């Protein structure tokens, strides 16, 4: 079990680093909408999976998600629109799930803060529609978490 936790955390850190560097996130979409699932912890909690690159997303387009295609989401849009809306709807983010649907499930705001802090750490410039800076965005999210 310890190895599983280490693997999950490693894949989460990979996601944070790669998405901050590439400024994009990947999800699966079909004509019926975005791929989603239930939390491994509760059938009552919805999860939308995201991947740090196209190949990981494409590998999961099978079984229930056969016919889904990887779609790139710009990082600013992901943080401002997706994460905020997912938090409002209490939907979790599944991070870099493998083909067995194994991976970290994170609250959208915790994920957003981790990505924003990584952007700061690498001195990456990113433009938002609703925030003047990464720090302003972090401050607003942190206040909503308190």
Question: For position 65, what pLDDT does the model report?
Answer: 94
pLDDT higher than 60, residue 1: no
Q: For 107-115, what is the mean pLDDT?
A: 96
State the average pLDDT for the chain. Answer: 93
Residue 3 above 70 pLDDT? no
Checking DSSP bridges between strand 92-95 and strand 46-50, what pairing results, if any? parallel
105/120 Cα distance (integer angstroms): 23
According to DSSP, the residues that pair with 70 across neighbouring strands are 28
Average pLDDT over residues 8-36: 96
Question: Does 42 score more than 90 pLDDT?
Answer: no
Predicted structure pTM score = 0.92
Secondary structure class of 23 (helix, strand, coil): coil
pLDDT band at 40 (very low <50, low <70, confident <90, very high): confident
Give pLDDT tens digits for 51-109: 999 999 999 999 999 999 999 999 999 999 999 999 999 999 999 999 888 889 999 99
Enumerate residues 6+ apart whose C-beta is below 8 A from 26. Answer: 50, 51, 52, 53, 54, 56, 57, 70, 71, 72, 73
């Amino acid at each position: 079990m310890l190895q599983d936790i280490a693997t999950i955390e490693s894949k989460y850190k990979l996601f944070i680093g790669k998405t901050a560097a590439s400024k994009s996130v990947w999800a699966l979409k079909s004509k019926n909408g975005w791929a989603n699932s239930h939390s491994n912890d509760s059938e009552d909690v919805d999860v939308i999976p995201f991947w740090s690159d196209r190949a990981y997303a494409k590998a999961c387009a099978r079984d229930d998600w056969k016919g889904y295609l990887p779609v790139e989401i710009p990082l600013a849009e992901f943080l401002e629109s997706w994460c905020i809306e997912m938090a409002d709807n209490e939907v979790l983010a599944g991070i870099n799930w493998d083909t067995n649907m194994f991976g970290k499930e994170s609250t959208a705001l915790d994920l957003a803060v981790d990505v924003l802090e990584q952007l700061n750490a690498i001195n990456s410039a990113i433009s938002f529609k609703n925030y003047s800076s990464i720090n302003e965005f972090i401050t607003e999210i942190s206040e909503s978490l308190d």
